[in-house]
A and B are shown apart, each in its own frame.
Chain A
Amino acid sequence: MHAPLAPTTHLPIGSDADLAWVRQQVRKTATDLGFGLIQQTKLVTATSELARNTLVHGGGGHVEVTPLRAGHVCGLRLSFVDAGPGIRDLDLAMTDGYTSGGGLGLGLSGAKRLVQELIVDSCPGRGTTVTVTDWASGLPAPRTGTR
């Protein structure tokens, strides 16, 4: 239904440095697609949370970045893929404040509030794929450098 606007890029998630690179690439792609500053900030923050989950809980993986287009609107789909332990109880994992480690437990639930669509596809013992889709709202992105 939503035609890809450009081919999918794969970025590895295997270290803290990779996380920084993924955030930068998503920010750049979102800017190019016309995402406004606030939406961009939200999407990049969700990216940071999900990519870190892929790294910390999933033991590393990759993200697939696909620019989309539906009519005149541009969007971005991000799939965070790992082959880690998977999530046994998804409702619990999506609960504010639930963490199996020492986190705040706000990554997954918070990310869902930051984007328009978030789908978790997890198979215990096989891995987790979290896919977010966000469409640029009608407002044009503010130009940087001009006031």
Chain B
Amino acid sequence: MAEQHDVTPEVAQELGGFLEQRREQIAQRWADAALFRTVFTVSRDEAVEACKAVVDALADVACSGRLEDIHAPGFDTVREQLSRMAATRAQAGFSPSQVAGEVAGLRQPAAALLQAEFDDPRAEHAHACALALTVLLGTLRLVVMETTVNSGEALIARQREQLLEVATPVIKLWENIVAVPLIGTLDSARSQVVMESLLEAIVHERARYAILDITGVPTVDSLVAQHLMKTVAAARLMGAHCIVSGIRPAIAQTIVHLGIDLGTITTRAGLADALAYALGQQGIVVSPSPAAGAIPR
């Protein structure tokens, strides 16, 4: 006799045959489960169709004998649908383990139908088939889990990309003058986005001056410095002059100790100084606001 967890090819075949034969009944029962009902909302028929697709896939996997293989080709036809279902449930606030629980809940209705196929449900053969179904649905649960993990990663990657865009607004300060307040870590990916959006803005706004404000950048190491220099050089090629502002005293000292030469770059302490410089270069003179206590005219 085979071991308890081994499903013989014959039993797998038989399970496959059962799933093919009873696909309509199984689909009808599954269609009312939250996993399908809340995802396929157009009509009940739509949910039933989705259920049938899953039953067909399971039948295919069973017939191929790869009951425990989450990469069995039989699953390929429903992988996308399953990931959409899992994603919808996740958006509704369900955790991956709750979704896995819902998939596990599909076993019971199918098992009841399977049991009804046998004259003596307690016979060894009936047990073997029930076990095969349990194994197969366990694999389905893993397939769904895998899609939720993948879609979770895809979501994080997407949010990261969105953050990249949000974090680098290019602001038009004056005719011909644009500014980018840089905030946070300037890793290679963000530096690339900064450079691209700045160059785009230079063209779009016909800017002749571009201010890079690094007040919000916590660490300026050799890589960040290199990115800054590249951005300045690229802007220069576009006919714009760059000014780097917001270099705090601690950062200034650190840059000097590191040995980085920013001598070719125009720098100003604050954003306002940088703006005044850019305006001054264009012949616009900004007179400082009357200091507190100054005699009014």
Kindly state the separation between the CA atoms of A110 and B189 in the bound complex, as whole angstroms: 24
Tell whether B188 is near chain A: CB-to-CB under 8 Å.
yes
Kindly state the separation between the CA atoms of A54 and B132 in the bound complex, as whole angstroms: 50
Cross-chain contact A104 with B218 (CB below 8 angstroms): no
A19 neighbours in B (Cβ, 8 Å)? 187
Size of interface on A: residues with Cβ below 8 Å to B:
25
Chain B interface: which of A3-11, A37-45, A64-72, A125-133? A37-45
Cross-chain contact B257 with A42 (CB below 8 angstroms): yes
Kindly state the separation between the CA atoms of A38 and B253 in the bound complex, as whole angstroms: 8
Nearest CB in chain A: distance from B265 CB, A? 14
Kindly state the separation between the CA atoms of A69 and B260 in the bound complex, as whole angstroms: 33
Cross-chain contact A48 with B250 (CB below 8 angstroms): no
Tell whether B77 is near chain A: CB-to-CB under 8 Å.
no
With A20-B187, A103-B222 already in contact, the answer to whether A96 and B259 are too (CB < 8 A) is yes
Please, what's the 1-or-0 string for B182-199, where 1 marks a CB less than 8 Å from any CB in chain A?
000101110000000000
Kindly state the separation between the CA atoms of A114 and B260 in the bound complex, as whole angstroms: 13
Cross-chain contact B189 with A16 (CB below 8 angstroms): yes
Name the residue on A nearest B257 (C-beta): A113
Cross-chain contact A103 with B250 (CB below 8 angstroms): no
Nearest CB in chain A: distance from B264 CB, A? 14
Cross-chain contact A45 with B226 (CB below 8 angstroms): no
Cross-chain contact B189 with A52 (CB below 8 angstroms): no
Kindly state the separation between the CA atoms of A96 and B222 in the bound complex, as whole angstroms: 12
Q: Which of B's residues lie within 8 Å of A, judged by CB? A: 185, 187-189, 218-223, 225-226, 249-251, 253-254, 257-260
- Please list 6 pairs of residues, one from A and one from B, whose beta carbons are closer than 8 Å in the complex, sorted by A's number: A27-B218, A38-B249, A41-B253, A42-B253, A45-B254, A52-B221
